[in-house]
Structure 1
Amino acid sequence: MTGHEGLFIAFEGGDGAGKSTQVRLLAEALRARGREVLVTRQPGGTELGAAIRELVLHGDHVSPRAEVLLFAADKAHHVDLVIRPALAAGDVVLTDRYTDSSVAYQGAGRDLGAPEVHDLQMWAVDSLVPDLTVVVDVSAEEGRRRRGDVHDRLEAEADPFHDAIRQHFLSMAAGHPDRYLVLDGTRPPDQLHDAVLERLEAMGVLAP
């Protein structure tokens, strides 16, 4: 655990991987077991975050460094107003994306330097790290197939951009296997959900 009363789980992965489905399934399972669950997402989750999301993902061109700073501002605000209070109350917080997305998308995808982006993100969230980060892994080609013809600014980037992001997620997970769970996103959603529950049981934070 990371020093808070609640349980903090982040879901990461490329666009179209199926993160949102896994967030929904886990929230339903935890609520059925009597846990208080807060579901949120980044960017977003607050009024400021929603404005940043619209600006960065659907607005006009945003320079790469400005993109990093806007995402960091969203996370700083989001953690202070939403995530930390919920964890202090003993709730389970499930977030669709967190700091690793910025490290992968802007650090690796935009080639701005993963260590530098990581340090900025950690400063923004005052070093709040999830108890578990679930990476739902699919190839860039599979993610594009699933998204179809609807793309935001980041989704519309070419496959090499998404390949770099995927490899960085896998690299982060390989470096810290105690804090990450990598799932093959091509498997049926219920199988992935079962794997998440098994990991939480193994961590001792969820009764079998």
Structure 2
Amino acid sequence: MADERVSHWEEVYREKDDTQLSWHQDDPSISLELCDVVGVDNASSVIDIGGGTSRFAERLIERGLSDVSVLDLSKAALDRSRGQLGAVGEQIEWIAADVTTWSPERSYDLWHDRAVFHFLVDADDRSAYRDQLYRCLLPGSHAIIATFALDGPEKCSGLPIIRYDPEGLCEVLGDRISLVTHRKHTHHTPWGSSQSFQFSLLRVGQ
């Protein structure tokens, strides 16, 4: 399964530029707002799961953070993003890995995932993702996880997804995590269609 995911996304990022990616957004405003809610600052460490060619890590560097990592299973996506950012890209740690099989070596203050978790339609993959999240986040740390909302699309990039509301997301992630707040967001694709997302801000307990 992991090898199939890598092949799919490598092909996507090799064949399409950002304007052809439905999930692309120039301004990750909701994510940044939720960072402000939990007080992410210059001393915070952040990992962006499935960051690909997202602008989120770049915006964090612009805000003065110095401990920012981006994980994506597509090396092509990471290479593109690093090349686009130039000198800024040298300040980011780039990790080419599948989050479900990755072996994290450290913890972070914030786990950010915009539109990875909803692709995990296999229960074992969701369980592996949950294990990695808890390995990376100490009690009191936070996660921002965005998925298609219950009224969102049923597929993305030709793949099936699972839609969530905040309560359903928390149920899947287990009782060690609690919902702080959430946002409903209508994402407009580069070609003008609308997609309904939910952004959940979560806190890890004991």
Which protein is richer in helix relative to its size?
1
More contact order relative to length (CA 8 Å, sep ≥ 6): 1
- TM tier, shorter chain? 0.3 to 0.5
Higher strand share: 2
When the two structures are superposed, what TM-score results if normalisation uses the length of structure 1? Answer: 0.39
